[in-house]
Amino acid sequence: MSKKSTSGLTIKPLYTADDLDDIDHLGSMPGDNPYTRGPRATMYTGRPWTIRQYAGFSTAEESNAFYRKALEAGQKGLSIAFDLPTHRGYDSDHERVVGDVGMAGVAIDSVEDMKILFEGIPLGEMSVSMTMNGAVIPILASFIVAGEEQGVARKQLSGTIQNDVLKEFMVRNTYIYPPEPSMRIVADIIEYTAKEMPKFNSISISGYHMQEAGSTLVQELAYTLADGREYVRAALAKGMNVDDFAPRLSFFFCMGMDFFAEAAKLRAARLLWTRIMAEFNPQKEQSSMLRTHCQTSGVSLQEQDPYNNIIRTAYEAMSAVLGGTQSLHTNSFDEAHALPTEFSARIARNTQLILQHETGITDVIDPLAGSYYVESLTKQLVDEAWLLMEEVEAHGGMTKAVEEGLPKLRIEEASAQKQAAIDRGETVIVGVNKYRPKHPEELDILEIDNHAVREAQVARLNRMRKTRDENRCQSALDALTSVAKTGEGNILEIAVEAARARASVGEISFALEQAWGRHKAEPKMVSGVYGSSFEDDEHFADVRSQINALEKQLGRPPKILVAKIGQDGHDRGAKVIATAFEDLGYDVVVGPLFQTPEEAAELAVSKNVDVVGISSHAAGHKTLAPMLLKELANLNAADKIVICGGVIPVQDHEFLKEAGVAAIYGPGTNILESALSLVTLLKEQMRGRNL
């Protein structure tokens, strides 16, 4: 009997040769169109995939030291993680980023930081991948100038810039400008790099963050390739020839725990991309090849029984290799607690080295080819993803679909369904909802001194501003605003001049903001999806009845504000909590993204909520939670219950509770249990008020 897999695919208990009858891609060879078996004829028998570990934290000096050690230990390329203020186009001295500087990546405010980041690392020889979308213009401009001042011409620089803004509006939310001007940035970067940087990949079209936000594999595949189609159209609209830029397009996928389906997904992606590119009539073979980087899943990492994450990552890495990835990042086992330590990062890196050197996996090209099961999965993924892409086309393409909120809604529905399956125990996660250890494991964690990092960044910014030619800098920034307003000229070309004049990341971003404004998303949530998964469930009914009883005591439903404070745009956890709590009977207010503690406190008071729930995934909790509590006290609202959820190390729990946080819910927390524990907290609050 067929059933649905954890990825939402229909699978059978037995596959035979009959399942291959209607599959027309079986005759292809590796390196041949439609590249199902790999984009290169020899694949890993000629050269293994690139080990490209994503890393960055604190200051440029700290990250540089980390990169140099990793390269000495066998890493072959760099993948840069920037902090959230950098992503959002703010300098470290901006009032909105107090708790975020250096916390979830490296702080880069200018060319000066970029030069330190790559000190002793020859940019003419090293491939550099940069995960950057919102502030992609100032970051790429600063990288180009840092290369020049290291003696490396633009044409010698190799690597990849993510530059995929459409998925930011869907899931990750580190956007700055509205969709239309953001698409112009994408096209200008493609144009500039095609002319000036022939070794550089102008875009990495990313499905990774979709799966991290809860998408199904079919959604990840369909929406990623639909984004790619939209970017090709944007470049063609600038008058470019498809063969001048298409060979440098690259992709980025997440590798989760559905082992065979994940490998099949990469095979399906290559086939689908050839189908899409045929619409544009390319003449070069390379224009139709999908090349991809992969990263093991962050959301599959669990806080509970954390050493299990080493095993999960190894399976996910092998799946990526069997699917034919070109480069790979393996997550560290402690990332559900905090940033990776040097110890955990070494294990993650060695996972790939062992795969390359000890398993024999590089000896054979496409070992899964011809598998009844894998080839059937590949076809199913192709067919179902194509239907979703056709739906996007019916809405006028991906930019229009994103503006309407279609992909975001579909992904949030899938995310709520996934969480319900975990909370019900239908999807087993070892150490979380089954086989839980009796005693939690406490890990050594990497802790960043946010205040010290920010002070160092601000001091360097001030030094740079005092020594630069202010007239030259302002003239370059004015030119940038003009180019953005008029639509004439290439934005990246002008931004390189501004970076040379030592304009900061924040100043370049603001020059564009003056022309286009800063995008603000309206907070929305799906309803009924989580609750509908618990029909006839006694535990769900019991929790709901207790919330209903509390409603009678209060004379209204208990009310909670789900708040995202700081520059962290990862809102999967917040959205799932919001929709689940609403289905259980809470009155839920979803705050807008990127609030300051002061703004969140004011919203909590104006909406008269009983509870403020902070969702934290970017290590800013030790700064931002106490600030929120202080702001509530200033508004005579210190009696409101404040709780925290997300990636919060056990070591930080006592600090937060001493500051006044009532409860902390880490990754893997059962939503029904957290909803019930909140009822207890509210009852205790009511008793305290009545004393």
Catalytic site residues? 54, 208-209, 564, 568, 570
Cβ contact 209:172 at 8 Å: yes
Rg of the chain over CA atoms, in angstroms? 25
Pairing state between β 327-329 and 159-161: unpaired
Structure tokens at 34: 């439609």
Cβ contact 668:303 at 8 Å: yes
Residues 6+ apart with CB under 8 A from 311: none
Distance (Å, whole) CA 113 – CA 64: 10
Q: What is the largest CA-CA distance in the chain?
A: 80
- Phi-psi map region of 76: left, alpha, beta (phi>0 left; psi -120 to 50 alpha): alpha
Neighbour tally for 532: CB within 10 Å: 12
Order across the sheet with 663-665: list the strands. 587-590, 559-563, 611-616, 641-646, 663-665
Pairing state between β 663-665 and 611-616: unpaired
Beta partners for residue 446, in sequence order: 339
Residue by residue, DSSP assigns 282-346 as -SSGGGG---EEEEE-STT--SSSTTHHHHHHHHHHHHHHHHT-SEEE---TTTTTSBPPHHHHH
Structure tokens at 263: 């490998």
Q: Strand, helix or coil at 99?
A: coil
- Give CA 517 to chain center in angstroms: 24
As separate numbers, helices (DSSP H) first and strands (DSSP E) second, the chain gives: 26, 16
Tokens 């070794």 found at: 199
Instruction: Name the nearest CA neighbour of 649 among 421, 365, 443.
Output: 443
Cβ contact 648:664 at 8 Å: yes
